Structure 1
Amino acid sequence: MTSTSCAQMLRSVLRSQCESGADHGDEGIFVDFENAQPTETEQEVYQLTEKVLEQAEAVVDDLSTYGSGATEAIRAAIKNPGDARYQDDAWCSLLKLVRRLRKYYELSVRLEQVFPLLLWELCSGPLPPVEQLESSQALCKQFAQVLDFVLRFDELKMATPALQNDFSYYRRTMSRQSLAFGVASDDKDAVVPVDLANTISFFYASPTPMLVALTTATASFVRNHPNLPVENTTDTLATMAMVCRCMVETPEFVLRMSKEQDTRLFCLRVMVGAIILYDHVHPTGAFARGSAVDIRAAVRVLKNHSHAERVENLLNALRYTTKHLSDPTTPKAIRAILS
């Protein structure tokens, strides 16, 4: 069977599942993103991932308070290059922030390490994607939580330009300032080795650094498992996107959400994240004819959501962080609905 016919079959199965859920409630696919608990066989990967997710929540909370960072101190130092007081003030301000910036980057590294474990558990079988996700609800929940965190982090990062500006200035001045002013003993972890500083600076140069880390991890997962058909991964991602869309569109499923608005928005973020990953690892992407992802339906459910500003950020993620939208093979109608 060709990859196109496989995709068409998957879309047909998922569509029928979603439609049956709309008519009959429990016959569809419902993943309990709020309460799913791990089975014995899921415990090891679940506990490893849970530690990273706890750190992820702390990072989002911390990032939300970052504000303007060292912007004023840096501006004063640039205006007064010959005055050591301003240089010292900027350096001291940066030392307090570099710990936080390094912590965010190190979390991305941990995500790159743990995400392939989730992918393996959900993509390697033995069940078809729909049944695999339904039978591994706790890991499916964590998979979704990773996608949700990544999109939330990047949304905050784009609204906080001080992150990149602060670390760029720190990297440019670190050698001179550390020699001139020294470093207190409790600030030793704020001094970043040159090679690592360059890597972290590159991380923050991306508008969506956490998403880049996750797409890199997913692509590496596919390359590192040559005996696992790529369709296992892409079909799982397409299924995740469809499941999340169905949960938002199916009234019976919405009624089962104790935090309806939060869970609906969570599902929309996960849907978009799954589509983006699919587009990065599938040979022809999510927008080509015959794709297992129903882009029209995904965009429709996004535009029907009440939180216009947050939904616009998700639409922008589809517009600007996918890989194949601008391909010549993408139908004009698909480009039009995202224009």
Structure 2
Amino acid sequence: MGALLSVLLSKGDDTGVNFNDLQIDFENAKPTPAEQANYDEVNDVLREAPQILALLQRYEGNSDLIRKAISNPGPATENEAWKSLLPAVTKLRDFYEFSGKIEGSLPKVLGLLCAGDVEDNLRHHQATARQLVDILHFATRFDDIKMSKPAIQNDFSYYRRSLSKMKMNQSPTQPLPVTDELASRMSLFYAHSGPMLKTITDCTTHFVTVNQSATPNLSQLVSSCLGIMSLVSYNAVAKDRVSSPEMVAYCLRVCIGCSVLYDHIDKDGAFAKVGLINIRAQIKLIQERAGDERENLLNALRYTTKHLGDDSTPKSVKLMLGV
């Protein structure tokens, strides 16, 4: 992830939070023996992420053929639309199934980083910390691209409407890419404005819930992990530790992804006046440095957080976000 990123927070810092000097080398960090097994499993999943994003970016949709089939219904137009939809829906199924792989990987990362002293874990398991930010970056990037592809929901809605009728004509040797049961789950996934970020939010919430009895303070540990990583990414941009547009966008995505998750896990949320997240500073940084990514990142705060609408959220924050 470029050069060494570090967070050096002291009294008077814009974040208002104190930590020891924590340095995380996202570019060259190597897994320690203690994290190697988990690292390898998660890495196998993350290797697929660039291809998933590339396929999503190239998704063109079948709007013309669907429109033709609806305006001029009949075997010829409907079969043409259906035949074109099958490979597209196969891709949508693959994207959805990859979200399940991310859902299976994230608890492995959180389990290692959030056991005991979080700051110490981040210091000594930097390869796993890098995987956490890679997951968050992927999720925010996936959702940005998905929001620019209205054809996804149009295609899948038409597929579901046509499924009962067209599967009767489907050759037994060519099974349907998505069954009725799977289609229902996928429909819920794609209906969300930020489906991948919602997936990791739900996964993190579930991780805390199922392990709370064994680790009563797990929620606080996860909040600390997300808060620290958000600060690392914030300071990488705010203190000009990264300079290329690609790295600035990367760090801002990670910063906001951590803050969204923090808002769902921490009892006071990311918009509280006291906590690890200075949301006003983050919004200001996005407005100043995010460029073309500005609205996408602000939308993540507007539409995927939990506590923005609370009465306790400062009016100044709501005003900054235009809500």
Q: TM-score, normalised by structure 2?
A: 0.90
Q: How far apart are 1:32 and its partner, in Å? A: 2.1
How many residues are aligned here?
A: 308
Q: Give the counterpart letter for 1:263 in structure 2.
A: M
Partner of 1:23: none
Partner of 1:304: 288
Partner of 1:139: 128
The SS at the match of 1:66 is: coil
Equivalents in 1 of 2:75, 2:303: separation in Å?
A: 43
For residues 287-331 of structure 1, what are the alpha-carbon distances to aligned partners after superposition, in whole Å with 9 as ceiling and x for unaligned?
A: 0221221112212222221x4221221012112211101100111
For residues 136-168 of structure 1, what are the alpha-carbon distances to aligned partners after superposition, in whole Å with 9 as ceiling and x for unaligned?
A: 111111100000000000000000011111111
8 Å contact 2:90–2:178 — kept in the other structure?
Answer: no
Partner of 2:3: none
Q: Does 1:80 align with 2:72?
A: yes
Identity of aligned residues (%): 39
8 Å contact 1:17–1:28 — kept in the other structure?
Answer: no
Partner of 1:284: 268
Q: Does 1:162 align with 2:151?
A: yes
Q: 1:63 aligns with which of 41, 49, 56?
A: 56
Q: 2:106 aligns with which of 108, 115, 124?
A: 115
Equivalents in 2 of 1:267, 1:213: separation in Å?
A: 20
Partner of 1:338: 321
8 Å contact 1:203–1:209 — kept in the other structure?
Answer: yes
Q: Give the counterpart letter for 1:222 in structure 2.
A: V
Q: How far apart are 1:250 and its partner, in Å? A: 2.5
The SS at the match of 2:231 is: helix
The SS at the match of 2:47 is: helix
Partner of 2:178: 192
Equivalents in 2 of 1:328, 1:60: separation in Å?
A: 37
Query: Which protein, 1 or 2, shows the higher relative CO under an 8 Å CA cutoff with sep ≥ 6?
Result: 1
Q: 1:319 aligns with which of 302, 307, 314?
A: 302
8 Å contact 2:122–2:129 — kept in the other structure?
Answer: yes
Equivalents in 2 of 1:249, 1:29: separation in Å?
A: 16
Equivalents in 2 of 1:265, 1:18: separation in Å?
A: 26
Partner of 2:137: 148
Q: How far apart are 1:201 and its partner, in Å? A: 1.1
Q: How far apart are 1:18 and its partner, in Å? A: 9.9
Equivalents in 1 of 2:77, 2:317: separation in Å?
A: 53
Looking at secondary structure, tell me which structure has more helix per residue. Answer: 1
List alignment gaps of at least 5 residues for structure 2.
1-6, 14-19
CA RMSD of aligned residues (A): 2.0
For residues 116-146 of structure 1, what are the alpha-carbon distances to aligned partners after superposition, in whole Å with 9 as ceiling and x for unaligned?
A: 1111111112x2x333212211111110000
8 Å contact 1:150–1:210 — kept in the other structure?
Answer: yes
Q: Give the counterpart letter for 2:57 in structure 1.
A: S
The SS at the match of 1:192 is: coil
8 Å contact 2:227–2:262 — kept in the other structure?
Answer: yes
8 Å contact 1:14–1:239 — kept in the other structure?
Answer: no
Partner of 2:17: none
